[in-house]
Amino acid sequence: MNAVEIEEAVASLAVQPFDSAEFPFLFLAAFGNKETTLRRLRKGDSNASDILNGVLQRNNIHIAVCQPGEVPATLKLLRESPRTTQAKAKFLLATDGEMLEAEDLACGEQIACDYSNFPDHFGFFLPLAGISTIREIKDNPIDVRATGRLNKLYVELLRENPDWAKDDRRPDMNHFMARLVFCFFAEDTDIFDGTGLFTSAVETMTERDGSNTHSVLATIFHAMNIKHEGRAAAKLPRWAAEFPYVNGGLFGGATAVPRFTRTARAYLYQAGQLNWREINPDIFGSMIQAVADDEDRAALGMHYTSVPNILKVLNPLFLDELRSQLEAAGDNKIKLLNLRKRMSRIRVFDPACGSGNFLVIAYKHMRAIEAEINRRRGEIEQRTEIPLTNFRGIELRDFPAEIARLALIIAEFQSDVLYRGQKEALAEVLPLDAMNWITCGNALRLDWLSMCPPTGTGVKLLADNLFGTPLNQTEIDFENEGGETYLCGNPPYVGSSMQSTSQKGDLEELFAPVLSSWKNLDYIAGWFFKAAEYAGAVRSDFAFVSTNSICQGQQVPLLWPLMFERGIHIHFAHTSFKWSNLAKSNAGVTVVVIGGTTEIRSSASLFSVDGDGAPTKRSVPRINAYLVPGADVIVTPQGKAPDARGLMLKGNMPSDGGHLVLSTAERREMIAAHPDAKQYVYGYCGSHELIHGDFRYCLWILDEEAKQASVTRAIRMRLEGVQEFRANAKALTTQPYSAFPHRFRQIQNVANNYSIVIPRHSSENREYLPVGILSADYIISDAALVMYDAPLWNMALIASRIHLVWIATVCGQLETRFRYSNTLGWNTFPIPLLTEQNRAELTACAEDILLAREVHFPATIADLYDPGTMPENLRHAHARNDEVLERIYIGRRFKNDTERLEKLFDLYTKMTVGQPKSNKGSKPK
Ligand X SMILES: C[S@@+](CC[C@H](N)C(=O)[O-])C[C@H]1O[C@@H](n2cnc3c(N)ncnc32)[C@H](O)[C@@H]1O
Q: Classify burial at 629, counting beta carbons within 10 Å of its beta carbon; exposed 0-12, middle 13-18, buried 19 or more.
A: buried
Question: What x/- string results for residues 443 through 462 when contact with ligand X is judged by CB under 6 A?
Answer: xx------------------
**Stretch touching ligand X by CB under 6 A, among 227-235, 483-491, 565-573, 710-718:** 483-491
Site pattern 248..287 for ligand X (x: CB under 6 A): --------------------------------------x-
Q: Counting contacts by CB under 6 A, is residue 573 touching ligand X?
A: no
510 counts as binding ligand X under rule CB under 6 A: no
Stretch of residues binding ligand X (CB under 6 A), selected from 10-18, 320-328, 351-359, 719-727? 351-359
Taking the complex as a whole, the smallest distance from the CB of residue 150 to ligand X amounts, in Å, to 17
CB atoms < 10 A from the CB of 148, how many? Answer: 28
From residue 911, alpha-carbon distances to 42, 890, 904 in Å are: 68, 16, 10
CB of 2 to ligand X, least distance (A): 16
Question: Which window, 242-250, 313-321, 487-495, 609-617, contacts ligand X (CB under 6 A)?
Answer: 487-495
Q: Is 397 in the site for ligand X (CB under 6 A)?
A: yes
Q: How far is the CB of 451 from ligand X (least distance, A)?
A: 12
Is residue 396 close enough to count as binding ligand X by CB under 6 A? yes
Residue number with CB closer to ligand X (583 or 885): 583
Q: Which is nearer to ligand X, 451 or 842 (CB)?
A: 451
The C-alpha atoms of residue 28 and residue 198 are separated, in whole angstroms, by 37
CA contacts within 13 A on the Cβ side of 597: 20
Is position 305 an interface residue for ligand X (rule: CB under 6 A)? yes
Among 81, 255, 306, 357, binds ligand X (CB under 6 A): 357
Distance CA 340, CA 776 (A): 75
Q: Which is nearer to ligand X, 272 or 491 (CB)?
A: 491
Task: Indicate which single residue of 46, 442, 457, 710 sits in contact with ligand X (rule: CB under 6 A).
Answer: 442
Distant-in-sequence, close-in-space partners of 402: CB < 8 Å, separation ≥ 6: 174, 175, 177, 178, 466, 467
Quick check: 490 binds ligand X (CB under 6 A)?
Answer: yes
* # binding residues, ligand X (CB under 6 A): 19
Member of 400, 629, 654, 770 binding ligand X (CB under 6 A): 400
Contact flag: residue 719 with ligand X (CB under 6 A): no
Q: Which is nearer to ligand X, 286 or 415 (CB)?
A: 286
Comparison of 156 and 395: residue with beta carbon closer to ligand X? 395
Stretch that binds ligand X, among 82-90, 368-376, 438-446, 549-557 (CB under 6 A): 438-446
Residue 431: asked if its preceding bond is cis (omega within 30°), the reply is yes
CA dist., res. 698 & res. 719, Å (int): 12
CA 737 to CA 746: how far, in whole Å? 9
The dihedrals phi and psi of 396, each to the nearest 5 degrees, come to: -70, -40
Q: How far is the CB of 467 from ligand X (least distance, A)?
A: 18
Q: What is the rounded CA–CA span in Å between residue 579 and residue 590?
A: 6
Asked if 547 interacts with ligand X (CB under 6 A), we say no
* Interface region with ligand X, contact rule CB under 6 A, candidates 92-100, 350-358, 598-606, 809-817: 350-358
**Minimum gap (Å) between residue 145 Cβ and ligand X:** 19
Residue 478 to residue 482: CA distance in whole angstroms: 10
> Positive or negative, the Cα torsion across 322, 325, 331, 336?
negative
- Residue 536's contacts (CB-CB under 8 Å, 6 or more residues apart) are 566, 567, 598
Helices (H), 255-356: 262-273, 281-288, 307-314, 320-329, 333-345
Minimum gap (Å) between residue 492 Cβ and ligand X: 4
- Give bridge partners of residue 439 from the DSSP assignment: 394
Residue nearest to ligand X (CB): 354
Q: Considering all CA atoms of the chain, what is the largest pairwise distance in Å, rounded to the nearest integer?
A: 104
Q: How far apart are CA 220 and CA 246, in angstroms?
A: 11
624 binds ligand X (CB under 6 A): no
Contact assessment for residue 899 and residue 909, using Cβ atoms and an 8 Å cutoff: no
Q: Which stretch binds ligand X (CB under 6 A): 72-80, 99-107, 192-200, 396-404?
A: 396-404
- Nearest residue to 641 via CA among 791, 801, 828: 828
Is 354 a residue that touches ligand X (CB under 6 A)? yes
Residue 542's nearest CA partner among 602, 599, 460, 624 is 599
Question: Contacting ligand X (CB under 6 A), which of 431, 483, 492, 637?
Answer: 492
Quick one: 358 or 680, whose CB is closer to ligand X? 358
Of the residues 119, 148, 210, 489, which one makes contact with ligand X according to CB under 6 A: 489
358 binds ligand X (CB under 6 A): yes
Alpha helices for 379-470 (secondary structure H): 398-420, 422-429, 448-451
Q: What's the rounded Cα separation, in Å, for the pair 408 and 200?
A: 26
Strands 485-489 and 540-547: parallel
Q: Is 522 in the site for ligand X (CB under 6 A)?
A: no
* DSSP string covering 696-720: EEEE---GGGHHHHHTSHHHHHHHH
Stretch that binds ligand X, among 171-179, 485-493, 767-775, 908-916 (CB under 6 A): 485-493
Nearer to ligand X, 353 or 808 (CB): 353
Q: Which residues bind ligand X (CB under 6 A)?
A: 286, 305, 352-354, 357-358, 394-397, 400, 442-444, 489-492
